[in-house]
Chains A and B, each alone.
Chain A
Amino acid sequence: MLDTVSPPPSSATQPPRKGWLLWPFQTLARRTSQGVAVTFYSLVVLIPLAALFSSAFTHGWGFFWKAATAKEALAAYRLTITCSLLAALTNAVAGLGTAWVLVRDTFRGKAILNALIDLPFALPTVVAGVTFYTLYGPKSPVHLTLTGTWTGITVAIVFVTLPFTVRSVQPVIETMTFNAEAAAATLGASPWRVFRTITLPTLLPAILTGTGLAFARAMGEYGSVVFVSNNLPFRTEVASSYIYSLASAGDPVGAAATAVTMLVMALVVLIAVSVASRRLVKGS
């Protein structure tokens, strides 16, 4: 991360005049830290995922395909993708607005709001689930019952993934200068036109990244959704809950196959978003 923001002086590759004796050690240190990073990532992420893949194909391709495309699984994917997409898009708009206000406006309690944005990350998702059940459950104090509906699932996911767009857009707005916007406004462009032609294109890569992350995270959400979904197979059962039921009912291979399918879908989205935002950056 630091490297992309401010490339460090290339002292590690070119021996400095003084202290040239240290150069091999610096190279060693750099290599070692790279090694540690890759090893850590492998231990924590790659190896478990490789195990998941190998488990999914324990009984061969035929079994995998049958499990991954079981009717109940397809219904669960459809629900999960729809709700995740709606939630990610909601957060793209709401997150942009929130980030904008947090950077460009000054108001009382701004620092507190800024700190609270990350709350959905800090909170156990089950807590979010219980909160939603209390507020939007059958005994809703506001007479709004969303449990057992796709809307309810989407609302829960919106809450859990809110910080993604805010936190990816916020730093970009902070580094943006007013100059171009001010110039456009002086030349008679309407505020909407300034936003559409100058502000939005600058922010789009960050919005895409945040939305992509939110979508990928939403696909796997379990803790909050399981409280509000009512868990009806083919109707309101999300993919993570379906995977849980397979895994806990003695079908680990079926669970792994379904999980791999979800993983691949999330990966495709993340790669697509990454490619799209790179193109946008190059284009501008």
Chain B
Amino acid sequence: MKFPRSLAIRIALPLVLATLPIASLVPVSAQASGSTVNVVGYSVVKTIFSKLETAFQATSAGSGVNFSNSFGASDTQTNNVANGQSADLVNLSYTPNIGQLVTAGKVPSDWASQEFSLGGVNVALTGSRQQTTYPTPGILTDSAVVFVVRAGNPLKIGTSWLNLVKPYTTTSGSGKTKVTTKHTYGIVTPNPTTSGSARWNLIAAYAGAIGAGDSSSKAQSYLKSLLTDTVAQPVSGSAALAAFLGGTGDVLLSYEDDALAAVAAGDAVQIIYPSKTILIENPVALTKTGLSNPAAKAFYSFLFSTAGQTILAQNGFRPVLKSVWKTAAGSFHSFGASAMPITTFDPSGWTVLNGQFFDPSSGIVSQLEQSIG
């Protein structure tokens, strides 16, 4: 059997060339490990973290610190970290995800109190941190579930959750040829299996119905109508916004911060603040490896500093630092005291809600989706 030499070279050369980039990567990652902070976050904080990191690198504590970032749907990210993805600092969409990392042994169980032990670099946090009436330790930012509609609100979508599922009519022609057509609003919300944002949205919808005086069974049938009218369930909050901006649906259920970012970016959308909503609390924690990484600890402190919280506030996230909230409150919609019917989402509260609503076989949402499909 003849094996032409030229053929051998043709096969071998690309193989050798292909290994070069891999080989060149190895020393880089090894050498930078000293002052690198691995940040793992949920999908919508990608942009804000690049701003926070740049600002941190400009401080004396942060000079020379490198960042390695990973952003995606909250449950996906949690699962990746639990399975060994490097992470010093995790910012996830809701507290149960941090709880899963505690169970997986990645985050210490007293993660929420890190804020008190580490936040004190720039400011005394204890007792002074919360903006209003819902103090929860370990929370980096607050937000709310809002409606995002097309610019100018052409379909005149109101502030009531219940009206989202009411059909609206359009008429075409006039006189005898007048035709009235019934429509439903196409709703876009992420997939609750992969997205924390989706869970906040559906709980807010349920709470909205309860807040409007519905019994729990009526609130469930409301939720069913809402899911029936849902036209897309992208994998993450960011993907849902992207689908909405791409023209899918009439109403997007979204984080207030993500919606504000879209408006600030000049996208042709506007925000409708529902009359009742939910207080969203996005937790942050240092992992066990992060606690032994001085740069990660310094960055954590920076996140809770006046400077860090101000950057968050300027980008649509409700700051948790009372002093920053005082100056920033004016630029946020005021929901009023009774607007957030369900507010305390301590981890055990979410454990109950997750079982009740999102259990794959017995959860309310799962069963409703099944009955629709």
Contacts and interface: CB of A to CB of B under 8 A. Distances in A.
Given A230-B232, A232-B232, 5 more contacts: A71-B373, A230-B231, A244-B194, A245-B191, A254-B360
Contacts of A247: 79
B233 A233 contact: yes
Contact of B193 (A26, A137, A235, A249): A249
8 contacts: A72-B370, A137-B247, A138-B246, A147-B248, A230-B232, A233-B369, A249-B193, A250-B82
Interface SS majority for chain A: loop
B284 to A, nearest CB: 20
B73 interface: yes
A138 B248 contact: yes
A249 B370 contact: no
A271 interface: no
A138 B194 contact: no
Contact of B233 (A133, A137, A232, A250): A232
B373 A235 contact: yes
Contacts of B246: 133, 137-139
B75 interface: yes
B1 A230 contact: no
Given A231-B191, A248-B194, A249-B79, A138 B247 contact: yes
Contacts of B248: 137-138, 147-148, 230
A245 B194 contact: yes
Interface of B: 1, 73, 75-76, 78-80, 82, 100, 191, 193-194, 230-235, 243, 246-248, 360-361, 366, 369-370, 372-373
A230 B243 contact: yes
A56 to B, nearest CB: 17
Interface in A65-94: 70-72, 75
A253 to B, nearest CB: 12
Contact of B235 (A26, A70, A231, A251): A231
Contacts of B82: 250
A116 B370 CA distance: 42
A231 B230 CA distance: 11
Nearest to B246: A137
Given A71-B370, A137-B246, A245-B191, A232 B75 contact: no
Contacts of A233: 191, 193, 233, 369, 373
A254 B359 CA distance: 14
A231 B370 contact: no
Interface in A106-144: 133, 137-139
The 4 closest A-B pairs by CB, nearest first: A234-B373, A138-B247, A248-B76, A230-B232
A280 B231 CA distance: 46
Contacts of A235: 372-373
Given A138-B246, A139-B247, A232-B230, A245 B235 contact: yes
B75 A29 contact: no
A230 B186 CA distance: 12
A246 interface: yes
Contact of B373 (A70, A75, A138, A226): A75
B370 A234 contact: yes
Contacts of A138: 246-248
B305 to A, nearest CB: 33
Nearest to A29: B1
A148 B372 CA distance: 15
Given A147-B248, A233-B369, A250 B75 contact: yes
A29 B3 CA distance: 13
Contacts of A133: 246
Contacts of B247: 137-139
B1 A248 contact: no
